[in-house]
Structure 1
Amino acid sequence: MPGDPGSGESPAAARRRLRLALRRARESAGLTQGKVADALDWSVSKVNRIEKGSVSVSTTDLRALLGLYGVVDADRAERLLRDARTSRLRGWWDEPRYREHLTPAMLQLLQLEGEASAIRVFQPTLIPGLLQTREYGEFVLNFWRSELPEADRALRLEARLRRRDQVLDRPDPPEFHLVLDESVLWRTIGGPRVMAGQFAALLRVARRPNVRVRIVPFADAAIMAMLAPFTLLDFGDEENALLYREGLLLDEIVHAAQRIGRHRGYFAHIWDSAHDEATSARLITERTAALTADLPAAQAPSVGG
């Protein structure tokens, strides 16, 4: 039965807390993943997946791990068992109609970004899915029209919009930093009306106190050409961060601290080289005005609100 993250602790938060606790307990016991696998007659990949949070852990398996790690404190064990039960609750993204249209990496991202305290997005080509309007998203997804039927594209769009609501409109929204390449302003997807509507929506979001949007000028295009889009998620502590990387045909979730640290450095460099928020907002506003100049007044989007 699908769980309702709004009614209590979310499955993502419980799974994240559990995987970190199990890794620390294993390390405190002086065991490698290989030794754990041998002792419990599991595969190393199973231990690895549990510690990465990519699979849920049953209460039976959890008790076996706690016994092996020497965890004897009853209260601690009960908290971890409670987390294991909560982590197995299902979110809306687990519905069959969505699962077949979402990659494993995107499913993990959906589970976790709703709990992130900070999200940093680098996007050199498009408005990121989290901020796309319905019309803009439709045109982006139409790129796949030769491979995906209209009904499938509609489901992906619905998932994209639900994702936005889950992250940006929650009671405690994350700190959200977005860096766009200036070329995004000039890539008119869906025509002037759709693009202007997307920029108007972006400006409204950018006015929120937790959101900061910056544009990297054409003059700093070198690094933009070398990096694929990526998203950094933080959860209040360094070791609990993750990286999501996406390309045209492939995406991945990365937990490796070294790669996450490297992309933190990339983001910091790009952020510092970008226009500040006020200048970026002015550029977006000017581009919106140019796009709407020849539109009938009834079609011009509002940037207020």
Structure 2
Amino acid sequence: MSTSPTALKRWIAGELARLRERNGATRADAAKAIRGSIQNIGHFEVGRRMPKALELETLLRFYGVPDRVDFFLSLRDRAKKGTDWWVGFDADDSALPAYFKLFLGLEAMASRIESWDVQVIPGLFQTSEYAEAVIRGGEPELPEAEVARRIELRMARHREVLEREHPPSVWAVLDEAALRRVVGSAEVMRAQLELLLQLAQRPNVEVQVLPFGSGAHPGTEGAFTVLTYPPDFDGDLGMVYAETRVRGIYYDEQEDVRKYRETLTRLQVAARKPRDSLESIKRLAKDL
């Protein structure tokens, strides 16, 4: 499991709030249980700071889940001692905006990453040349140094997630438009499609193509990524991430996550099967 403090602190905070609400307790009730203040409970539940070990144990017992104490304490210990892999990029807000840091932590921690992409190949699969073309196309005024830094971050992300000792399962559904749009040049696009084919040969990676002929579909509202936590995170549905021009949006309410999962399932059913999808990608690469 990743030791990303950002992701682990966020999960602990959110889960403490959910457990309290599920137990029908108020923040005042929780504060009384630990002989603390309502303000402190608020800090715990938004991730502003983590509870002390004894406070955490007391809260979990008060919420009726004493069997989860050891697990939460181990997460707390990892969060305190861990280091986010992107720490070297942290000082550069242009390369790594604040809103994206949580996603990187969640992605590194995820046991399963599922995505729907409409316009471009997902960042996790991009070559450096393709990434450069995407970055320059989106913000042509960026200085060379900033472009280079963003590419470096994207390549580091590829290594940290896909090349780690126990990589997550990755299932990407791509609109045919993302494969046919020539980004950069024909040579850049061919190399990108070839990398996509190589990655799809891995046992933990599935790639599907949603063809133009599929007509209207539930993914018309835009790209999104569904992140699933490891099995130890008992009963948690995970989180959904969607990105706009100016910020990232996180959905962690169970009903919201469930709706996105249902949408993704429908897209997977409508798309070509993985083997047929790879044949489509091979033909497109050959045509280039």
For normalisation by structure 2, the TM-score amounts to 0.83
1:276 corresponds to: 273
1:91 corresponds to: 84
Query: 1:48 aligned to 2:45?
Result: yes
Give distance in 1, aligned partners of 2:8 and 2:157.
19
Give distance in 2, aligned partners of 1:179 and 1:269.
11
1:200 corresponds to: 194
Q: CA deviation at 1:66?
A: 4.5
1:265 corresponds to: 262
Whether the 8 Å CA contact 1:118–1:176 is kept in 2: the answer is yes
1:228 to 210, 215, 222: 222
Whether the 8 Å CA contact 1:245–1:251 is kept in 2: the answer is yes
Whether the 8 Å CA contact 2:241–2:250 is kept in 1: the answer is yes
2:243 corresponds to: 246
Q: CA deviation at 1:262?
A: 0.4
The secondary structure found in structure 2 opposite 1:214 is strand
1:135 corresponds to: 129
The secondary structure found in structure 2 opposite 1:190 is coil
Q: CA deviation at 1:20?
A: 6.4
Q: CA deviation at 1:148?
A: 2.6
Q: CA deviation at 1:26?
A: 3.0
Q: Structure 1: any 5+ residue segments left out of the alignment?
A: 292-305
1:3-152 mapped onto 2 (5 Å cutoff): 9=3, 11=5, 14-15=8-9, 18-19=12-13, 22-23=16-17, 26-27=20-21, 30-33=24-27, 36=30, 40-42=37-39, 46-50=43-47, 55-57=48-50, 59=52, 63-64=54-55, 66-67=57-58, 80-88=72-80, 89-95=82-88, 96-99=90-93, 101-152=95-146
Partner letter of residue 217 of structure 2?
Answer: I
Whether the 8 Å CA contact 1:37–1:47 is kept in 2: the answer is no
Greater shift in the superposed pair: 224-233 or 132-141? 224-233
Partner letter of residue 242 of structure 2?
Answer: R
Give distance in 1, aligned partners of 2:252 and 2:20.
18
Distance 1:66 1:223, change over 3 A: same
Percent identity of paired positions between Structure 1 and Structure 2: 29
Q: CA deviation at 1:208?
A: 0.5
Q: CA deviation at 1:248?
A: 2.8
Q: CA deviation at 1:140?
A: 0.5
Q: CA deviation at 1:81?
A: 4.6
Q: CA deviation at 1:93?
A: 1.8
Distance 1:93 1:35, change over 3 A: farther
Distance 1:267 1:34, change over 3 A: farther
Give distance in 2, aligned partners of 1:29 and 1:183.
47
Q: CA deviation at 1:227?
A: 2.0
Give distance in 2, aligned partners of 1:184 and 1:206.
16
Distance 1:69 1:168, change over 3 A: closer
Whether the 8 Å CA contact 1:134–1:161 is kept in 2: the answer is yes
Partner letter of residue 185 of structure 1?
Answer: L
